[in-house]
Amino acid sequence: MVGSLKKYRSTLKLLRVIVYSFIVIFLCWQVWRVRHGLGHSLDSVGWSTFALSAGTTVVGTFPGFFAWRLLITSTGVQLSFLDAAWMYFLSGATRYLPGAMWPTVTQAALAKRSGAPAGRFIAAGLVGMTMTAISGAMVGLLALPRLAADDPKWWLLLPILLCAGAVMLRPRVLGRLLNLAQRLFRRGEHEITLPTGKTSMGVIALGVLGWCSTGIHVTIIAISFGAPPISAITLGLGGFALSTVIGALSPAPAGLGIREAMLGLTLGVLIGGPDLVTLLLLSRALTTLGHVAATLGVLGVLAGTRYVRWRSGKEKSSDALSAS
């Protein structure tokens, strides 16, 4: 039994290495194929477009935090704004590990250290991932008409996206889907409260806002390459949401390679060649840069705030001792 388990783990590790190697080779080949036109494409973007796109990816990080805090509050856990921000953004650093569950696992570990019920954080994380995928599928509907006009096969995505919308419109369906996860992660604690319809709608609305705030960078870059604004908006927002959701469901870290392939399929309707490869590379760089900048900025502000409070408390203690 132990030998079989070790053999299975070794095989799984080998498959991961093969898949990741294939992804890296594929991305490098795409860049090498259009290497002569990349410089011109980068010049076409310009620093002002790059800065504007980077700013949108930073802003797009924050709706996810407010949605997560809304879910945590709905489970009965009361966290201060500063503690919630620290926990959320610190755990966000693990999103680049293979698998989508690491931020949730990290939040549960941090909650356990602070005395909060870890099971509720895991439940909230599962609900959050589900609703993020639902809101991403909803934004993805924006791209479908334009994609289907180019190739009717894209209409095959419609039933999947409509099922996601049905889950949103029927919170009871979402509750039933999450009951199994609730039983698995409860671990003898009190009943975990699933979000109400109002909370679900609020979380999904924040998710849609986050997808649009982040995905607009694709639209900005596409327009700088001469894409029609209306098509750039629908395919930029919808294509980015669809590609990111599909990438998140893959075993690749942060959907590396999978997201680029899907985004290339959608944006390939508008632009191609070096411009398309440049957009894909810039999209990955900008989303990573935006997330890292937002994380470091928030954690830096929170660390500074805690330090000021600590110094203030220390000074008060010294004053009290001096007075006595």
Q: Angle between the 171-186 and 197-224 helix axes, to the nearest 10 degrees?
A: 100
Residue 188 has what pLDDT? 42
User: pLDDT per residue over 14-49, tens digit each?
Assistant: 665 665 566 566 556 555 554 555 555 666 778 888
- Number of domain units in the chain: 2
Q: Are residues 229 and 172 in the same domain?
A: yes
Q: Are residues 1 and 144 in the same domain?
A: no
In a domain, 320, yes or no: no
In a domain, 248, yes or no: yes
Mean pLDDT computed over every residue of the chain: 77
- Give CA torsion, residues 317, 318, 321, 324, to 10 deg: -100
Say if residue 307's pLDDT is above 90. Answer: no
Query: CA 270, CA 276: separation in Å to the nearest integer?
Result: 9
State the pTM of this model: 0.78
Do 286 and 278 meet the contact criterion of CB atoms below 8 Å apart?
no
Q: Are residues 15 and 91 in the same domain?
A: no
Q: Are residues 56 and 159 in the same domain?
A: yes
The percent of residues above 70 in pLDDT, for the chain, comes to: 68
Q: Are residues 195 and 304 in the same domain?
A: yes
In a domain, 317, yes or no: no
Q: Which domain holds residue 19?
A: 1-33
Residue 239 has what pLDDT? 93
